[in-house]
Amino acid sequence: MLQFYIATLHNLRSKWPDAWPGLPVVLNACIHHLWPQALPVSHSQAGQLLQAARNMASHMEDLAKASSYEPHYHNRLHTADALTAVCLLMQTIKEQAFALSDEWAAALLLAVTSHDVLHPGGANAFVQEFEQRSANEMRNITQGLKIDALWTERVSELILRTDPTLVAANYDKVNNAPFEMNVDWACVLMNEADILASATSRYGPELGQALAQEWTLKNHPLHHVVGTPEGRLQFLSSLRFSTPASKAWGMPNHVAGQLITSLRS
């Protein structure tokens, strides 16, 4: 599955940005991949969550067209990378016979689609600064839809806990806990999807360069480090993969192999 994901990353990049099909196309492909037989009915909670995700994907395309600036890293391509990752990770979870309800699958697609909307580039000045903007925009998108407050709150929490400074605590919360679809494990699944492309040996280094360009424009103090071999080593050393899906993909070994290579060079 990891090689399939890497091939998908290649396909996305072959069209970026001039022949970009748009986030709605990427999202729709993920939806039909997860529900190949029949989609959740439109009036169900899962159906309403999927409609919110579609609305957000279209909204992000409209925002990009109206703006003269899109971050080098936190852009629609990154959202597509993360969407594809969470889709395939959820497919693996299903194949491993773990319970994954339509509601949770749809909520994760909405959360990943929304998690970097309105991202200005750079890094938070305080905890959850950018994530709060994204969560608020998600709530705006869901207005008029019949989504229970419980699911709106869950999606909001998933977005808020993508703040990089909170990721380690997210993993600590599920340490030694059996996997089941709840908020804490969903946060970890989302964290894994968020950085999965950057964790690959094929595309990780160039994504580090993209982040360095973004941080340079925003005068981030670490802009001169993040894209270097030293910055790559630090990033790889910080990674944790805990879900049954990422373990089945061999992500811990994939990262360990890169670390060994980096330390030898």
| Residue (of 163, 185, 47) closest to 116 by Cα position | 163
For 100-147, how does the pLDDT look when each residue is reduced to its tens digit (9 = 90+)? Answer: 999 999 999 999 999 999 999 999 999 999 999 999 999 999 999 999
Phi and psi at residue 158, in whole multiples of 5°? -60, -45
Residue 165's H or E segment, with its range, is none
Location of structure tokens 């941080």 = 215
**Pairwise CA distance, residues 112 & 37, whole Å:** 23
**Pairwise CA distance, residues 91 & 100, whole Å:** 9
For 60-87, how does the pLDDT look when each residue is reduced to its tens digit (9 = 90+)? Answer: 999 999 999 999 999 999 999 999 999 9
- Position 222 scores a pLDDT of 87
Classify domain 2-197 at the CATH superfamily level: 3'5'-cyclic nucleotide phosphodiesterase, catalytic domain (1.10.1300.10)
Residue 236: pLDDT over 90: yes
Residue 262: pLDDT over 90: no
- Position 263 scores a pLDDT of 80
Which amino acid is residue 97, in one-letter code?
Answer: A
Angstrom CA distances, 72 to 156, 158, 196, 209, 222, stand at 25, 23, 17, 9, 16
